Amino acid sequence: MRDLSQDSSQHVRAALANQISGLAPLLNKEPTVEHLLPLFLHLLKDDFPDVRLNIISKLETVNSVIGVDLLSESFLPAIVELAEDKSWRVRQAIIEHIPLLANQLGKPFFDEQLGALCMSWLGDTVYSIRETATLNLKKLTEVFGVEWAKVAIVPKVMGMGQHSSYLYRMTTVQAITTIVPSLSLEIVRAEIIGPLLLLANDPIPNIRFNVAKSLEVLAATFNKSPEGYEFVQQQIVPVLDQQTNDQDADVRYFATRALQKAQSREI
């Protein structure tokens, strides 16, 4: 295994990285820590992205053998480093494993060690990373609950909506669209709807029509209860009605579609 981890062929090292974690359950904890852990950490720093990717994708198998304490102590520094990896596929793989790590590490540890990292991905230059980062927030909300999301996620996401950069404002809208179905009406009413409606008048048409898409998701999510229906009619319908007269054709199209959804009562 040691020889293969230093093989001159990157494809050999990638194949090893894809299979080596399967030895952990066979060896059990102490041999895994003594013999395999150094190889995992060595392969995590390999120059070839597929090697790093294959190690990351099998973290769950390793954790089931060595436990969360050793996992966090040994792997966390490498994971944080890989979160800023030059290969976007590696960054994406790390993001996709964050909910699993969060569930294993718990809220306090996650907030202290990984919370800021998760928010930083929302500003990544690669669209796929930003998209995966918003899905990550939704999954984290399902792991830790809506009250945690209200404090740890929502204020930071909504704060980005006032950013001078188009990229950050767009990410705010897309993040809201993704996480809203996991949130409560109370949180949406208190923390989200105000800043979101301000973006309905953004100078960038792409943001305005994405706001219409987001409002459609809000309507579909909350229209099913009397309280939610009243909220949709009072807060969302007037803005969508205004957007149906927007100067941009795409904004008018998505606003009209969302308005139809918002005005249909599904109970």
pLDDT in tens, 161-189: 989 998 899 999 999 999 999 999 999 99
Residue 165 is which amino acid? S
Q: Domain segments of the chain: what residues?
A: 162-267
CA distance 33 to 26: 13
Residue 196 is which amino acid? L
The dotted CATH code for 162-267 is 1.25.10.10
Q: What is the pTM of this model?
A: 0.76
| DSSP string for 24-71 | HHHH-HHHIIIIIHHHHHHHHT-SSHHHHHHHHTTHHHHHHHH-HHHH
Mean predicted lDDT score pLDDT of the chain: 89
263 conformational bin, left if phi > 0, alpha if psi -120 to 50, beta if neither: alpha
Statement: residue 72 has pLDDT above 80: no
pLDDT tens, 104-162? 777 887 888 788 888 889 888 888 999 999 999 999 999 999 999 999 999 999 999 98
Residue with tokens 């093989």: 7
Residues 6+ apart with CB under 8 A from 184: 146
Tokens of 116: 């800021």
SS3 7: coil
Provide the CA 197 distance to its chain's centre, in angstroms.
Answer: 23
